[in-house]
C-alpha cells in the first residue's frame, strides 16, 4: 500500500463521526488503567458494562431524539413509572409476564406519542413538553406506588419478579448487557441504512428542507419520541429486575446522564450529526467514571464533579469540530 | 388546450394582513421559459411556492395539463412533475450530495422497513450530475463543505432527478459568483431544449431578458404587465416594476 493510500485511509477514519468518541474512550481507558491497577480486569469491565446497560438503552433513545434537534428530559420518569407499572402488574395483579411486558412497553410508546403530539400539534418545544413528562410521570409513579418501594418479598410470597431472567446470565454474559448492545447495534443499523434514519438526520440538518422535500417531519418527530419512550420503558423493566424493587424515585438524574452520554458520543444539540456507536461509548465513559471513583475509594459524591469536567471538555470538542452547522 | 402545461387562475394569498398575491392568473406553456420579475416583496416567491405545493392559495385554482389539481404539499406537486429550486436551496448541510439529491425520494427495497439502496442512488446521482456537466471530487462530500455554486448544482440535480415537466427557479443566481451565472443561464436553456418548462424568477433583468420567451411583471402582488420577449426591452420592464409606467391597457 502506498503512503498516499495510507494517508487517505487514515484521513477517512478521522473523518468518521465515531472517531472522536473512540478517541475519548481510548484516552479514558489509558487514564483509568494508569490510575487504578484494578481497573482493567475482566471482572471490573463486566461490572461497568452491567451498570452502564440501563443508561446505554435510555441514551440510545435520547440520541435518536437529539439527532432531530429536539430533547427528551422525561426518560427517567418514563423509566421509573414503567418500573412501578410492571412491578404492580407482576406482583399485585399477577399478570402473565408476557402481558405485563407488552403493556409496559406500550406505555412507553404511548408516552412517546403524547410527547410527539404535544410538540407537533400543540407546538410546545420538546424541552418544555418533556419537562412536563419528567414531573408528571414521577407523580404518576408516586400515586401508583403510594410512595413505597414495590419489592417481591414485601408484597408477595415470591422472592423475585417473574421477569428476573432479564438480569440473569446467558452463557456467562449478563442478559441486560446483551440487550443493551442488541438495542445499540439495531439502532445504529437502522439510522444509517434505512430511509427513516435518513429522515431523522434530515430533520436535524434542515427541518424546512426535509418538509419541502416531502419528508413527513411531524411523523418523524412523533416516532423518535416513541423510540425514546419505548427504550426508557425497557430500561425501567431491566432496572426493576436488577435492583429487585420498583420505586418512584428510581434513576434520578438519568435523563441528564443520557443527555451527557449523547454529547460525549458526539451528537450536538442542534442534531444532524453523530452515531449511536458514539453514544454507547459515551454511556460507557460515564459508567466508568463512577466505577473509577469507587475503585479509588473516593466519595461517590465526586463522580458528579468529574462527569461535569469530562462533559465540558467533550462539549468543547464537539463545538470545535465540524459538528456545528 | 394541452399546450398549456400549468395554469394558475385568480390566485390570491394573504399572510395575516399582508396581501402577498391578488388575483394572479398566469399560464406556462410546454417548453417555455417564463421570466417572472418584480421588486422585493412583489410576491414572486409566494407564487412559486403555491405552484410547488408549499402554500395553499386562499382563492383561485391550479390546472396541470388542463386538469384541476389541489397541491396540498410539495409531494403532491412532485407527483405532477413540478419541481422547485428554492432561493436558499433547501439542502440539508449535514447530509452528503447523494442524500440531498434523493431527499424525500430515496430508492429503497423491502416495502415496510425501506432499506436504502445507497449504491443505486449514487449511480443515478452521478448520472444526473454528469448530464448537468458538473463534477465533484466525491459524491459523499457533505453539502456544508460545498461552495454556493456547487450547492446550487445539487439543488438543480435534485429537481431533475425524475424528468420533471416544470421547474420553478427562485432567484437561482442569488448566491452565484458572476463567473457562474453564464453557465447557469445556459443550463436553463438546455432544460428548455429537453422539453422542460421553466418558471424563472429573478430581479437580474438582463439575465431574464437573455433567456425568457415571455416576461411577466408582478408588483405588490398583482400582475402589471405581460410581454413577449421580442416585444419589450429592459427600460420598459423597469418602468413596470417600479410602477412608473403611464401606458394604458396593460394586462
Ligand atoms: N411565510 C410568510 N409569512 C408571512 N408573510 C410572508 C410569508 N411569505 C411571504 N410573506 C410576505 O409576502 C410578501 C411577498 O413576499 P415574497 O413572495 O417573498 O416576495 P418576493 O419573492 O417577490 O420578494 C412580502 O410582503 C412578504 O413579507
Ligand atoms: Mg423572493
Query: What does the DSSP assignment read for A83-104?
Result: HHHHHIIIIIS---HHHHHHHH
| Averaged pLDDT for residues B4-15 | 93
Nearest CA in chain A to B98: A198
User: Which grid cell is A54?
Assistant: 440501563
Q: Which CATH architecture has domain A3-315?
A: Orthogonal Bundle (1.10)
Q: Where are the alpha helices (DSSP H) in A88-194?
A: 97-120, 126-145, 152-155, 175-193
What lines the ligand 1 site, CB under 6 Å? B 15, 18, 20, 38, 40-46
DSSP summary character for residue A246: B
Average pLDDT over residues B75-94: 92
Cα separation, A19 vs A273, whole angstroms = 13
Q: What is the rounded distance in angstroms from the CA atom of residue B175 to the CA atom of residue B177?
A: 7
CA of B52 to the centre of ligand 1 (A): 15
Runs of H (alpha helix) within A194-216: 195-205, 207-212
Asked whether residue A161 carries a pLDDT value surpassing 50, the answer given is yes
Paired sense of beta strands B33-38 and B214-219, if any: parallel
Taking each helix axis from N to C end, the angle separating A175-193 and A42-67, rounded to the nearest 10 degrees, works out to 30
Running DSSP on this structure, what letter comes out for residue A2? -
Q: CA A177, CA A51: separation in Å to the nearest integer?
A: 9
Distance A237 CA to ligand 1 centre (A): 52
Give the domain ranges of chain A: 3-315
Q: Quick check: is B120 in a domain?
A: no
Looking at residue A162, its pLDDT comes to: 86
pLDDT per position as a tens digit, A235-269:
999 999 999 999 999 988 889 999 999 988 889 88
What confidence score (pLDDT) does residue B10 get?
Answer: 95
Asked if residue B236 belongs to a domain, the reply is yes
pLDDT at site A15: 63
Give per-residue pLDDT as tens, A76-135: 999 999 999 999 999 888 899 999 999 999 999 999 999 999 999 999 999 999 999 999
For residue range A211-226, list pLDDT tens digits in order: 999 899 999 999 999 9
Task: Give the pLDDT band (50/70/90) at residue B35.
Answer: very high
What's the pLDDT at A308? Answer: 79
Is B122 within a domain? no
Domain with B9 in it: what CATH number?
A: 3.40.50.300
In this structure, which residue's CA is closest to atom 1 in ligand 1?
Answer: B15
* Model confidence band, residue B1 (pLDDT cutoffs 50, 70, 90): very low
Quick one: pLDDT at residue A24?
A: 81
Q: What's the gap in Å between A118 CA and the centre of ligand 2?
A: 32
| Average pLDDT estimate for A179-205 | 96
Ranges of H-type helices in B60-177: 74-79, 97-101, 118-132, 148-160
Going by pLDDT thresholds of 50, 70 and 90, the confidence category of residue A179 is very high
Asked which of A57-61, A316-320, B10-14, B177-181 is least confident by mean pLDDT, the reply is A316-320
Residue B234, domain member (yes or no):
yes
Question: What's the pLDDT at B251?
Answer: 43
Contact between A236 and A110 under an 8 Å Cβ cutoff? The reply is: no
Q: Residue A157: pLDDT above 90?
A: no
Report whether pLDDT(A170) > 50.
yes
Q: How far apart are CA A13 and CA A10, in angstroms?
A: 5
Q: What percent of chain B has pLDDT over 70?
A: 96
Cell digits for B194?
Answer: 429537453
Q: Please give the pLDDT value at position B246.
A: 53
Which residues crowd ion ligand 2, with CB under 5 Å?
B 45
Q: How many CB atoms lie within 10 A of CB A17?
A: 17
E strand or H helix at A123, and its extent?
none
Cβ(A73)–Cβ(A229) under 8 Å? no
Question: What does the pLDDT look like over B187-227, one tens digit per residue?
Answer: 899 888 888 999 999 988 999 999 999 999 999 999 999 99
CB neighbour class for B100 (10 Å; exposed up to 12, middle 13-18, buried from 19): buried
Grid coordinates standing for B39?
421588486
Beta bridge partners of B227: B215
User: Average per-residue pLDDT in chain B?
Assistant: 90
Mean pLDDT within A46-71: 95
**B13: containing domain:** 4-89+163-242
**Do B209 and B194 meet the contact criterion of CB atoms below 8 Å apart?**
no
Q: Please give the pLDDT value at position A319.
A: 54
- Shortest distance between the Cα of A322 and any Cα of chain B, in A, equals 9
Per DSSP, the three-state class of B200 is strand
Q: Which residues of B touch A205 (CB under 8 A)?
A: 92-95
Alpha carbons B76 and B245: distance in angstroms, whole number: 39
Q: Is residue B21, in this structure, part of any structural domain at all?
A: yes
Residue B182 lies in a domain: yes
The pLDDT of B71-94, averaged and rounded, is 92
pLDDT at B240 over 50: yes
CA distance from start to end of chain B: 21
Mean pLDDT, to the nearest integer, of B100-107? Answer: 94
* Mean predicted confidence (pLDDT) in A197-222: 95
Looking at beta carbons, which residues of chain B come within 8 Å of A214?
A: 73-75, 78, 104-105
Model confidence at B248: pLDDT above 60: no
Write the CB contacts of B204 (distance below 8 Å, at least 6 apart in sequence): B173, B181
Q: CA A289 to CA A36: how far, in whole Å? A: 12
Q: CA–CA separation, B145 vs B160, rounded Å?
A: 22
pLDDT of residue A124: 94
Mutate one of B103, B115, B155 to test the A interface: name it (highest A CB count within 10 A).
Answer: B103
Q: What's the average model confidence in pLDDT over A192-202?
A: 96
| Confidence class for position A311, pLDDT limits 50, 70, 90 | confident
Asked whether B166 and B147 are in contact (CB, 8 A), the reply is: no
Cβ contacts (< 8 Å) between A202 and chain B: which residues? 92, 95, 99, 103-104
Amino acid at each position: 500500500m502506498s503512503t498516499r493510500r495510507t494517508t487517505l485511509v487514515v484521513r477517512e477514519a478521522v473523518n468518521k463521526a465515531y472517531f472522536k468518541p473512540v478517541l475519548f474512550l481510548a484516552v479514558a481507558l489509558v487514564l483509568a488503567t494508569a490510575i487504578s491497577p484494578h481497573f482493567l480486569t475482566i471482572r471490573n469491565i463486566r461490572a461497568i458494562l452491567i451498570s452502564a446497560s440501563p443508561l446505554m438503552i435510555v441514551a440510545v433513545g435520547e440520541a435518536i431524539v437529539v439527532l432531530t434537534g429536539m430533547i427528551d428530559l422525561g426518560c427517567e420518569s418514563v423509566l421509573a413509572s414503567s418500573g412501578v407499572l410492571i412491578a404492580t402488574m407482576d406482583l399485585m395483579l399477577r399478570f402473565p409476564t408476557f402481558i405485563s411486558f407488552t403493556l409496559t412497553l406500550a406505555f412507553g410508546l404511548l408516552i412517546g406519542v403524547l410527547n410527539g403530539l404535544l410538540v407537533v400539534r400543540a407546538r410546545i418545544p420538546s424541552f418544555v413538553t418533556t419537562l412536563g413528562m419528567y414531573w408528571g410521570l414521577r407523580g404518576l409513579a408516586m400515586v401508583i406506588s403510594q410512595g413505597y418501594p414495590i419489592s417481591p418479598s414485601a408484597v408477595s410470597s415470591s422472592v423475585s419478579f417473574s421477569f428476573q431472567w432479564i438480569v440473569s446470565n446467558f452463557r456467562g454474559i449478563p442478559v441486560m448487557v446483551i440487550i443493551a448492545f442488541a438495542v445499540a447495534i439495531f439502532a445504529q443499523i437502522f439510522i444509517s441504512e434505512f430511509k427513516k434514519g435518513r429522515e431523522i438526520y434530515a430533520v436535524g440538518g434542515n427541518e424546512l428542507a426535509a418538509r419541502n422535500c416531502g419528508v413527513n417531519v411531524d411523523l418523524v418527530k412523533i416516532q423518535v419520541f416513541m423510540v425514546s419512550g419505548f427504550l426508557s420503558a425497557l430500561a425501567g423493566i431491566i432496572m426493576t429486575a436488577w435492583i429487585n424493587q420498583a420505586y418512584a424515585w428510581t434513576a434520578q438524574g438519568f435523563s441528564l446522564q443520557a443527555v451527557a452520554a449523547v454529547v460525549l458520543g458526539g451528537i450536538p444539540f442542534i442534531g444532524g450529526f453523530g452515531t449511536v456507536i458514539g453514544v454507547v461509548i459515551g454511556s460507557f465513559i460515564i459508567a466508568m467514571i463512577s466505577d473509577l471513583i469507587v475503585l479509588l475509594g473516593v466519595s461517590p459524591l465526586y463522580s458528579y464533579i468529574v462527569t461535569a469536567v469530562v462533559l465540558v471538555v467533550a462539549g468543547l470538542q464537539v463545538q470545535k469540530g465540524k459538528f456545528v452547522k | 388546450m394541452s399546450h398549456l402545461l400549468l395554469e394558475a387562475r385568480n390566485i390570491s394569498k394573504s399572510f395575516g394582513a399582508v396581501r402577498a398575491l391578488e388575483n394572479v392568473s398566469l399560464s406556462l406553456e410546454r417548453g417555455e421559459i417564463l421570466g417572472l420579475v418584480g421588486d422585493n416583496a412583489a410576491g414572486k416567491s409566494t407564487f412559486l411556492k403555491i405552484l410547488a405545493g408549499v402554500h395553499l392559495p386562499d382563492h383561485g385554482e391550479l390546472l396541470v395539463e388542463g386538469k384541476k389539481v389541489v397541491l396540498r404539499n410539495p409531494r403532491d406537486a412532485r407527483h405532477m412533475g413540478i419541481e422547485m429550486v428554492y432561493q436558499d436551496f433547501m439542502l440539508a448541510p449535514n447530509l452528503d450530495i447523494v442524500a440531498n439529491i434523493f431527499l424525500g425520494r430515496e430508492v429503497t427495497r423491502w416495502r415496510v422497513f425501506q432499506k436504502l439502496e445507497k449504491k443505486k442512488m449514487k449511480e443515478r446521482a452521478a448520472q444526473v450530475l454528469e448530464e448537468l456537466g458538473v463534477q465533484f471530487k466525491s459524491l459523499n462530500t457533505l453539502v456544508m463543505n460545498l461552495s454556493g455554486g456547487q450547492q446550487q448544482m445539487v439543488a438543480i440535480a435534485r429537481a431533475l432527478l425524475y424528468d420533471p415537466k416544470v421547474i420553478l427557479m427562485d432567484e437561482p443566481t442569488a448566491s452565484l459568483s458572476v463567473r457562474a451565472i453564464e453557465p447557469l443561464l445556459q443550463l436553463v436553456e438546455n432544460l428548455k431544449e429537453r422539453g422542460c418548462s421553466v418558471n424563472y424568477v429573478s430581479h437580474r433583468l438582463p439575465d431574464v431578458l437573455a433567456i425568457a420567451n415571455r416576461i411577466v411583471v408582478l408588483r405588490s402582488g398583482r400582475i402589471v404587465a405581460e410581454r413577449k420577449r421580442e416585444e419589450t426591452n429592459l427600460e420598459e420592464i423597469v418602468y413596470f416594476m417600479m410602477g412608473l409606467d403611464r401606458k394604458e391597457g396593460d394586462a
